Amino acid sequence: MTAYERLKARFARIATLHEAANILSWDSEVIMPPGGGDARADQTAVLASIAHAMLTEARVADDLAEAEATAHALVNPWQTSDLRLMRRRHTRAVALPADLVEARARADSVCEQIWRVARPRSDFASVAPMLEQVVQLAAESAQALAAALDLDAYDALMDGFQPGVTAADVEPIFARYNDFLKSALPAAEARQAQHPAPMPLAGPFPAAAQQELCRKLVQQIGLDARHARLDVSAHPFCGGNPTDIRITTRYDETDPAQAIYAVIHETGHAMYEAGLPGAWARQPVGAAAGMAVHESQSLIVEMQAGRSDAFLRWLGPVLHHTFGGDPTAFAPANLAGLWRRVERSLIRVDADEMTYPAHVALRFRLERALLAGDMTVADLPVAWYDGMRESLGVEPRNDGQGCLQDIHWYAGLIGYFPSYTLGAMAAAQLMTAARRDTPDLEPALAQGDFAPLMGWLRRMVHAKGSHLGLNDLLRCATGKPLDAGDFEAHLTARYLT
């Protein structure tokens, strides 16, 4: 075997360990009994330690050096990209001591378990001590990575979620959007006020009926049921691996939209995973191109297609057939009024697409301050209250509506949040190009058919794996790098005209 072939074999084994850890994570959020938390923390920590040891073994450095010295023999550009990404993963891994990797995995798992109990009780005090450990370990990791990567500490964490994007890239995007929102939000509210309020959907909406409808939606979007399953969790997510995808949602019998759009969103993630290049499975180049790209795939399905006039024309009759009641409430125009309504809300996952970036910008500011030591975990609730009041003019009544609402920090995912807004902007840019290139896209959505959109995404995004980074991927698909203007144009067309 050549050095590169040895590396491919090793990275495939490491990827398999990560797949096992992903399934354990899914299990802990869906079906694990509450008493299993301590053992699960040990299991995930040991798997993380084994994977880290395999990646940092001395032989890997030797093989990387040999493979890079003979890179001219790699005739396939995907191999060249794979080798580059192997080097990147190795550099990040060797920067982190093994005991730190294991300690962080254990702390993240324990904190997440405590959060699940604390969130519905709005009991921040019960999880705060463990969150302090999580933040401290994340800060130690960030400092170690920063030194190895020549990055700012926060940028080093961001780089783990979306390579090549830094806080300096994000800050002007958020600043520009904040300026847009200052005028666009009151204008959208004023426009809404000129029209009668939409007719509410009359419940109840039985969870069993919602579940059946959600399974139908998964199939409509195109996810293969032989390689996926749908379950319930406290926070909707997509996990597993490309041939064993796990998506979750949660059901509210007074509001079916929560489950419906969570499933549509997570199925967008799932379709990306399922569409990754199988020839490069378990190799760095065959993985997703980063979490901003991943979020673009969920949001193009949920926000761009799933809330479009065309799709609502199909969805309305399906909803009426499922739940019955007054058909007027399920008319596409009424659904658009309900589900494309701009509102200054408290909960990120329920926020409309115009105010959503304000939620993300707040988390971006707070997690940077936490990591830098400019604020403590104990400061978080008040800082959250102040931030929501300043950005959207609303204030949480309790910490369940505030700093406990998201799982991310409690699971150690510090540096993830900017990917949501970058993904929303990329989704708008991709949808503009997809409509340009695919004339039958809108008529198909009106029939509940996602095949034209998914076919375009398969070719232009999914099949590229990590061969291209965020901006190169967008250049290839749309003709330009990330451009916030497409997102603003989309919002203007949908909410202001």
Task: Report the SS3 class of residue 245.
Answer: strand
Beta-ladder partners of 248? 231
Treating both helix axes as pointing N-terminal to C-terminal, what angle do 309-323 and 332-339 enclose, rounded to 10 degrees? Answer: 100
Q: Which of 427, 428, 419, 425 is nearest to 364 (CA)?
A: 419
66 is catalytic: no
CB-based contact 396:388 (threshold 8 Å): yes
- HEC states along 334-364? HHHHHHCCCCCCCCHHHCCCCCHHHHHHHHH
Helix and strand counts by DSSP (H, E) for the chain: 20, 3
- φ and ψ at residue 30, rounded to 5 degrees: -115, -50
Q: Is the peptide bond before 129 cis (omega within 30 degrees of 0)?
A: no
* DSSP 3-state of 206: coil
- Token code pair at residue 201: 């959907």
Q: Residues near 362 by Cβ (< 8 Å), separated by ≥ 6?
A: 384, 387, 388, 391
Catalytic residue, chosen from 29, 102, 112, 266, is 266
Those residues with Cβ within 8 angstroms of residue 175's Cβ, 6 or more apart along the chain or in another chain: none
Measured in whole angstroms, the distance separating CA 31 from the mean position of its chain's CA atoms is: 22
Of 465, 379, 484, whose CA–CA distance to 426 is shortest? 484
Q: Which residues are catalytic?
A: 266
